[in-house]
Structure 1
Amino acid sequence: MSVPYDHVPDPLSDLASHTSPDGQLSGLLGRALNSFELPDDILARLDSALAYDSTLHSAHHSAGLHRETYRHTWLLADGSPLTLWELVHNTGRDRMPQHEVYVTEDELHLATGRLPLPPESAPDFTLQTPVLPLQLQAVAPRGHSFGPADPDSSVDHARRLLRRAENPDAATRPGPGTARLLRDACAHEITQAFGRRLSQGFALYEHAFLLRDGCEVSLWEVEHTATRDGRHMCEVYLTQEAARAAIEHRAADRVRLSGG
């Protein structure tokens, strides 16, 4: 039978250290087999997530097969919640856990109904125990987690980042003014950007620098192999928007060159 809110292994246990809202989102997108089907507007909205909460919604275990559903909710900067539904099951040929993600409860219901489980495991989305409405406290936007001040390391990192920029359009590269500004860097942090979908084969990183006067400056690095000879290439931009536009342009060029 379907056992809502039963105790089952938590699929997020291996992400315990990634407790930030964007860390939880990247974990979910990374393990879900169908994450590429999520609408771009949903991922764009999640860029502003400030807080995160997850709950086990229902579960079924029988004859070595299992199925769990989880509700993942993010609090957005405008104060509204956004929920994604995760389905975890081991009904594949190899009996290995598989993860899927859906935007609506109806989509989750349909996906669960397609699983080769006994009829008595049909999903029941009404919990047998009352659950309080989800309450996420509004928090300030997450700042960068700079480590101990190390000016020599941060200035050197900025210098190496600017040196490896191979933007096809030289005008889009950070110029001498940026280089002079980053000579005052005393700490830095590198994080991979998730959220809005990236074309396959591209990675986007934010390099955030803390300056001596307390100001923060970020540069955005695009890594890819969308080159004629397939070699690895890095491009660096002043804004995330410019970096994502470059990714879209490069991806379109790759399709054109491949004759697709």
Structure 2
Amino acid sequence: MNDPQDPHDPYETTETHLERLLGRALNSFDLPDSTVERLGTALAHSSALHSSHHSASLHRTTYRHTYLLADGSALSLWELTHNTGRDGSDQHELYAEESEARLAASRLPAGPLPGWTAERSDGTTLDSDDDDDMVLLSALLARPIPAQPRMYVPDNSADHARRVLRRAENVDRPGERTARRLRLAFAHHITQAFGRQCAVEGGRDAGFTLYEHQFLLLDGSEVSLWEIEHTATPDGRHMCEVYEDERSARAAMENRSRVR
């Protein structure tokens, strides 16, 4: 069965289908190596619409692509398609688990809520209609994260940590010492600490999201990685940065918001 998103040849081979799917996904490099290796043995495939959401500003759709492998087993990929790219162009993301696709969908920016306000340290109140987006962003970055209960989930957490570190592009990302510790992770919890769409220098819009990836290690200790996802790059492309502490991550976001 061909991909329901695109009117391609219904007799398209599974190999060609996979090449298209992996080629258009922004995060195909983030798929587990074991998953990509298994997909290399796919004999047939079927694609189906799983869920769809449409609003005035956001369109997102999730597809399930299922593959029959040479060993007789089945493997599914979850594709999230949304219109948050530059000029409203479609973006594609791939996930090995439905839960990961749902989490990614929940991260998509929906724009500022009406009446949204933030208070600066000097007591001045800013609202979502304030023309000085840079001032508003700085005020938001300084706000503490509300305490939330940690609900650790054992879900191949060491591999999750490896993938978070692998996609980091900043030169001051956590080093090998942290990577070695995280090989002992057996459960993790992800918290969205910050999310905002605003204007950066040059007058264009950019999105900023900050996540804390909290890991529980086999020795009972805890380690956090702070991941920034943003589009405050010179060409507007999506970029991920990872830091070992919240202060460094927030300082990096404030610095990136002034990109030229």
Q: Which has the higher contact order (CA 8 A, sep 6+)?
A: 1
| Larger gyration radius, structure 1 or structure 2 | 1
- TM-score when normalising by structure 2: 0.43
> Which structure shows the higher strand fraction?
2
